[in-house]
């Protein structure tokens, strides 16, 4: 099938590449000329395991190409995927300007029937707005060409994007058109061989499904963080509690890891956007507000624990930080807990020596050159001359540590672990103060 994808970010690039990989002819369009010229050279602007070779293979096979020319993309594809950003507006609602700009572009250039597919995460009612923007653009041309708009939210996770796209649990499509259903079945047929994964529903339900999924996952995390904070004050161990409740199949082990708060480009903005949508229809959505509030507070806990370890005297201290990305296997630092921590440390005059296997360029791009930030080449270099170590991201390469070595390196042997990587007793035996989440030294200290 001939497919056009608008937006070559995490979602657009993965969608385009995976669809090309199963034999479709794909053109990806982006307004960012620099991104497109890098992609044309086979350079991937993001870090996503496995993606670079897949992009190159499909470009060489002639099934995947990139352009900045909207007319070329619109006329090429029967299916037009919109995969541009929907960042939070000032009031927290989803900013639809990029989505609606693509709709207008499609209306301006289409020369035949098109299926316009909202893959971006968009509030309920957006398909109607996309249809209206497109109709308006067509009307300006005096054209009465036909089109359909459907919703096809994406559920991939960064760091596991290819696997999630190709082997995801479900493919949700919101449409009331049989023609669209048949075309979407054809598009996704290569991923639908083992068992039926396609779920067709009305457009509004599909749009809401995406927000409900993210809000549910964010709720699980905030719930666990709330219980972890309680465990600290009650002298319980959250990791035992996690195992205890996860063993109940009604609860399950997935997505119940306590930590230093959820980050990334999705949960924070999507929980907020759903709450704003609820507000717009006069529903208070108190649970969503609480999920957001718990997460905001959780991101401050690493700093609070450091303050406790140093009796509030953090000025002039050097803090080693392992993990800048909002989670492992990505270079994405959007809403990362590391950022809240670094900014709080800088505000009180402390210095940061940070390491991340993939996100250091992104950190440089975000913060530039600063006297109070050193980006270290290795995890070992990050702790050299530091007073304490904080772990923000559970990269595999941080999971095994020689505590005797750490004790020698750190001026004050303190570890604040935002991901519960170590056994508290092992760290304690090495003579290091260990503040984890819901366990360790944090326990019984309100
Ligand atoms: N990142 C994820 O893991 C993920 C997963 C599922 C859903 N989503 C949703 O998918 C959408 C895209 O997210 P992302 O992380 O890929 O965003 P991103 O910021 O990485 O990429 C968006 C791209 O769209 C381009 N763009 C903007 N306006 C354009 C236009 N008019 N025409 C063509 N390109 C344009 C930008 O230049 C950018 O390259 C968002 O709604 C997001 O919530 C993201
Ligand atoms: O038990 C857990 C699981 C995750 N996290 C944190 O939650 C955040 C989000 O993690 P994850 O969901 O793995 O990453 P994303 O790439 O943001 O993916 C989410 O957001 C995407 C964009 O909407 C959706 O498509 C995915 O299904 C959804 O998992 C990260 O900061 C994690 O550290 C925890 O704290 N505890």
316 labeled part of a ligand binding site: no
DSSP string, 95-163: --HHHHHHHHHHHHH--S-EEEEE-S---TTHHHHHHHHHHHHHHHTT----EEEEE------TTSHHH
pLDDT bracket for residue 441 (50, 70, 90): confident
pLDDT of residue 231: 96
Q: What is the percentage of the chain residues whose pLDDT exceeds 70?
A: 99
Residue corresponding to tokens 């479900």: 170
Question: Per-residue pLDDT tens for 281-300?
Answer: 999 999 999 999 999 999 99
Q: What percent of the chain has pLDDT over 90?
A: 96
What would the pLDDT profile of 327-366 be if each residue is shown by its tens digit?
999 999 999 999 999 999 999 999 999 999 999 999 999 9
Give the pLDDT confidence score for residue 27 in this predicted structure.
98
Reduce the DSSP state of residue 36 to 3 states and report it: helix
> Which of 9-13, 87-91, 111-115 has the least mean pLDDT?
87-91
17 CA distance to ligand 1 centroid (A)?
A: 15
Q: Beta-carbon neighbour count of residue 412 at 10 Å?
A: 12
Question: With bands split at pLDDT 50, 70 and 90, how would you rate the model's confidence at 90?
Answer: confident
81-95, 249-263, 377-391: which has the minimum mean pLDDT? 81-95
- In angstroms, what is the span from residue 218 Cα to ligand 2's centroid? 8
Is the pLDDT at 445 greater than 60, yes or no? no
Domains of the chain and CATH, by start: 2-201 (3.40.50.720), 202-446 (3.40.50.720)
Active site residues: 266
Taking CA atoms only, the protein residue closest to ligand 2 atom 7 is 262
The two most distant CA atoms of the chain are separated, in Å, by 78
262 within ligand 2 shell (Cβ under 6 A): yes
In ligand 2, the atom with minimum distance to the C-alpha of 264 is 17
At residue 366, the pLDDT reads 97
Give 128-178 pLDDT, tens digit per residue. 999 999 999 999 999 999 999 999 999 999 999 999 999 999 999 999 999
334 is an annotated ligand-binding site residue: yes
Which ligand approaches the C-alpha of residue 327 most closely?
A: 2
The phi-psi region of residue 150 (left if phi > 0; otherwise alpha if psi is between -120 and 50; otherwise beta) is beta
- Identify which of 259, 273, 296 to mutate to test ligand 2's pocket (most ligand atoms within 8 A of the CB): 259
In 178-300, where does DSSP find H-type helix?
Answer: 178-188, 203-234, 238-246, 267-280, 286-298
Q: Mean pLDDT, the chain, as a whole number?
A: 96
Q: Which ligand is nearest to the CA of 160?
A: 2
Q: Is 88 in the pocket of ligand 1 (CB under 6 A)?
A: no
């Amino acid at each position: 099938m001939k497919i056009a994808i608008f937006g070559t970010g995490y979602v657009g690039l993965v969608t385009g590449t995976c669809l090309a990989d199963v034999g479709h002819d794909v053109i990806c369009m982006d307004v960012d000329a620099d991104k497109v010229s890098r992609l044309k050279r086979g350079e991937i602007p993001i870090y996503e395991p496995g993606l670079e070779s897949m992009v190159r293979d499909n470009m060489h096979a002639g099934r995947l190409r990139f352009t900045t020319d909207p007319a070329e993309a619109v006329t090429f594809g029967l299916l037009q995927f919109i995969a541009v950003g929907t960042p939070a507006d000032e009031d927290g609602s989803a900013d639809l300007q990029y989505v609606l700009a693509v709709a207008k572009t499609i209306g301006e250039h289409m020369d035949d029937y098109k299926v316009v597919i909202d893959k971006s995460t968009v509030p309920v009612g957006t398909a109607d707005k996309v249809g209206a923007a497109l109709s308006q653009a067509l009307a300006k041309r005096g054209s009465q060409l036909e089109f359909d708009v459907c919703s096809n939210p994406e559920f991939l996770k960064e760091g596991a994007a290819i696997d999630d796209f190709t082997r995801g649990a479900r493919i949700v499509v919101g449409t009331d058109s049989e023609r669209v259903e048949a075309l979407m079945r054809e598009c996704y047929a290569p991923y639908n061989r083992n068992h039926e994964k396609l779920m067709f529903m009305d457009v509004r339900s599909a749009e809401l499904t995406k927000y409900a999924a993210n809000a549910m996952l964010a709720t699980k995390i905030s719930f666990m963080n709330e219980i972890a904070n309680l465990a600290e004050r009650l002298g319980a161990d959250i990791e035992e509690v996690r195992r205890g409740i996860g063993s109940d199949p009604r609860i399950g082990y997935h997505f119940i890891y306590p930590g230093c708060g959820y980050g990334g480009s999705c949960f924070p903005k999507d929980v907020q956007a759903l709450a704003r949508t609820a507000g717009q229809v006069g529903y208070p959505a108190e649970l969503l507000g609480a999920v957001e509030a718990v997460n905001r507070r959780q991101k401050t806990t690493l700093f609070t624990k450091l303050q406790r370890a140093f009796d509030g005297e953090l000025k002039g201290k050097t803090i080693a930080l392992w993990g800048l990305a909002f989670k492992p296997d990505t270079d994405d630092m959007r809403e990362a807990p590391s950022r809240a921590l670094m900014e709080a440390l800088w505000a009180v005059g402390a210095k940061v020596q940070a390491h991340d296997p993939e996100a250091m360029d992104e950190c440089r791009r975000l913060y530039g050159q600063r006297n109070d930030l050193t980006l270290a080449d290795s995890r070992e270099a990050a702790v050299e001359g530091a007073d304490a170590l904080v772990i923000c991201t559970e990269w595999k390469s941080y999971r095994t540590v020689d505590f005797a070595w750490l004790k020698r390196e750190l001026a004050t042997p303190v570890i604040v672990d935002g991901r519960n990587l170590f056994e508290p007793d092992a760290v304690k035996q090495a003579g290091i103060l260990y503040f984890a989440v819901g366990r360790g030294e944090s326990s019984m200290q309100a």
